[in-house]
């Protein structure tokens, strides 16, 4: 459980990497310790053999020789002079060397290999070590020694290095642990606790994180989390308001649909009226009521299940244009609609959706001060283009002269093409709602909208 925390993992990793560093340092260190051991032994042997130079006979008694060799820690010492003469101090029974080590030309790789061979060995080999004299590089000092004392010194050195490494690792790990605990782990825990606390009740403003004012990455994370929490609270508040509004709209549409149902029953009676003018107006009134009932029904369905499905059908565009004038509910001289669309030009789309698009365009023209609306349409390859032009003040100089909304015309009644037309019909409605221009912003001489 302890290793699951970030601080504990950092502590273990710090100790591990420090120990790895100490091992990498230990390898050349133990080789250097062995080289230093040999160099000190050669220097002591050179001093001991100088006793032969003050001897009148050039020789020493065996007892004095053994004492000197014991003081040096060697089995024998020799000095090879530049003139070829050799001075020797040998024990009474000098051994034969098992291996010769030449320090005249040192090699670090050979020194490392020899160090581990000596450190991990278990015998007592006799080593013959050759090295230059400390006083005269032209002279060579030779020492015979046992390997067992060297191995003991090397093990003592390794244990001291290990103890020092453990102390350094623990101290370094503790410092790193405390530093990271203060700089990283504690702020991260505070951020995590704020996130968990905010998740329990996002609408509670007191659960938002208090930014510490740090300038590093932790400070950036705190500030961004604060912005995120504020955004979530605003979205939840807006969602609650929209839900309340949707409930109210649902109730209104329910009541309105009941009222329209009553109006529909009354209008059905008008179709049997003896007055010709009443019979002529009754079908249009029935269509308007049917559209209002369908709109209320779709709104109720949307509030319960989501967006209503589109109802594609093939119909004449000219007949749809003829229904725009009565749908506006204006007097006879309010708006004149000239339809130059051939009656045989048909389109496959959602009729009610496209009707709403055209009705909104006409209503925008009337609100902008237009008195005449001209509609034209033609087939261009696989696209049907509908152009609507009014005599209103026109678009402002900063606005595009033509707003184009593309919808591919299905070449055949296959399902894939029909779905594309349905989606295009819904897109036209959305784009028309977004691209509406207020009448007071219009300055040019003509307003022109092209639907494709």
Residues 215 and 358 in one domain: no
Q: How many domains does the chain have?
A: 3
pLDDT band for 173, please (50, 70, 90 cuts). confident
The string of pLDDT tens digits covering residues 71-117 is: 888 888 888 888 888 888 888 788 888 888 888 887 888 888 888 88
Q: In this predicted structure, which of 207-221, 255-269, 360-374 has the lowest mean pLDDT?
A: 255-269
Residues 381 and 439 in one domain: yes
Residues 324 and 234 in one domain: no
pLDDT band for 451, please (50, 70, 90 cuts). low
CA 135, 140, 145, 147: dihedral to nearest 10 degrees?
100
End-of-domain residue from the set 192, 221, 241? 241
Backbone angles phi, psi at 313, to 5 degrees: -160, 155
Residues 134 and 221 in one domain: no
Residue 11 belongs to what domain range? 2-175
End-of-domain residue from the set 175, 195, 227? 175
As a whole number of angstroms, the distance between CA 422 and CA 314 comes to 11
Averaged pLDDT, 354-382: 84
**180 within domain boundaries:** no
Residues 160 and 226 in one domain: no
Question: To the nearest whole number, what is the mean pLDDT of the chain?
Answer: 76
End-of-domain residue from the set 215, 241, 267? 241
Residue 234, pLDDT > 50, answer yes
As a whole number of angstroms, the distance between CA 346 and CA 6 comes to 69
DSSP 272-340: T-S-HHHHHHHHHHHHHHHHHHHHHHHHHHHHHHSSPPP-EEEEEHHHHHHTHHHHHT--TTT-EEEE-
Instruction: Copy the structure tokens of residue 233.
Output: 């609270």
Residues 327 and 438 in one domain: yes
Residues 168 and 218 in one domain: no
Residue 366, pLDDT > 70, answer yes
What is the CATH classification number for the domain harbouring 343? 3.30.565.10
DSSP class of residue 440? G
Identify the pLDDT of residue 334: 67
- Contact (CB, 8 A) for 339 and 411: no
Residues 325 and 416 in one domain: yes
Residue 363, pLDDT > 60, answer yes
pLDDT band for 186, please (50, 70, 90 cuts). confident
Identify the pLDDT of residue 426: 40
The interaxial angle of helices 217-270 and 186-200, nearest 10 deg, is: 20
Residue 416, pLDDT > 50, answer no
Residues 80 and 226 in one domain: no
Burial class (CB in 10 A: 0-12, 13-18, 19+), 432: buried
Residues 93 and 132 in one domain: yes
If DSSP codes are grouped into helix, strand and coil, which group holds residue 380?
strand
Identify the pLDDT of residue 400: 41
Residue 183, pLDDT > 50, answer yes
Vertex 27, ends 22 and 30: CA angle to 5°?
Answer: 105
């Amino acid at each position: 459980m302890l290793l699951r925390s970030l601080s504990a993992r950092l502590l273990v990793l710090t100790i591990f990497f420090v120990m790895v560093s100490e091992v990498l340092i230990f390898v050349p260190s133990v080789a250097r310790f062995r080289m230093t051991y040999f160099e000190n032994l050669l220097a002591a042997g050179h001093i001991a053999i100088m006793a032969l130079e003050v001897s009148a006979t050039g020789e020493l008694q065996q007892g004095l020789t053994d004492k000197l060799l014991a003081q040096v820690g060697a089995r024998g010492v020799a000095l090879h002079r530049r003139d070829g003469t050799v001075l020797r101090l040998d024990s009474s029974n000098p051994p034969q060397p098992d291996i010769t080590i030449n320090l005249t030309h040192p090699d670090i790789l050979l020194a490392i290999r020899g160090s581990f061979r000596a450190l991990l060995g278990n015998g007592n080999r006799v080593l013959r070590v050759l090295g230059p004299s400390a006083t005269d590089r032209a002279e060579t000092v030779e020492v015979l020694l046992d390997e067992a004392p060297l191995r003991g010194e090397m093990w003592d050195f390794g244990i001291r290095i290990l103890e020092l490494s453990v102390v350094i690792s623990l101290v370094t790990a503790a410092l790193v642990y405390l530093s990271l605990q203060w700089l990283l782990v504690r702020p991260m825990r505070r951020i995590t606790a704020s996130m968990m606390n905010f998740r329990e009740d996002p609408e509670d403003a007191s659960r938002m994180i208090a930014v510490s004012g740090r300038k590093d990455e932790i400070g950036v994370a705190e500030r961004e989390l604060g912005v995120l929490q504020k955004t979530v609270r605003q979205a939840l508040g807006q969602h609650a308001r929209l839900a309340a509004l949707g409930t109210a709209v649902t109730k209104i549409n329910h009541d309105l649909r009941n009222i329209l149902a009553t109006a529909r029953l009354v209008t059905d009676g008008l179709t049997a009226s003896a007055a010709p003018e009443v019979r002529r107006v009754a079908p249009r009134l029935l269509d308007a009521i049917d559209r209002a009932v369908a709109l209320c029904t779709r709104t109720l369905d949307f509030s319960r299940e989501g967006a209503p499905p589109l109802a594609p059908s093939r119909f004449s565009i000219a007949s749809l244009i003829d229904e725009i004038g009565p749908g506006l509910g204006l007097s006879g001289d309010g708006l004149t609609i000239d339809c130059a669309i051939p009656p045989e030009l048909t389109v496959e789309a959602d009729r009610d959706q496209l009707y709403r698009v055209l009705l909104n365009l006409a209503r925008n023209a009337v609100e902008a001060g237009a008195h005449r609306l001209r509609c034209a349409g033609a087939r261009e390859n696989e696209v049907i283009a509908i152009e609507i032009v009014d005599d209103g003040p026109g678009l402002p100089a900063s606005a595009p002269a033509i707003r184009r909304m593309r919808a591919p015309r299905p070449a055949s009644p296959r399902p894939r093409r029909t779905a594309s037309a349905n989606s295009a019909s819904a897109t036209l409605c959305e784009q028309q709602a977004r691209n509406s221009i207020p009448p007071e912003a219009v300055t040019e001489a003509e307003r022109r909208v092209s639907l494709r």
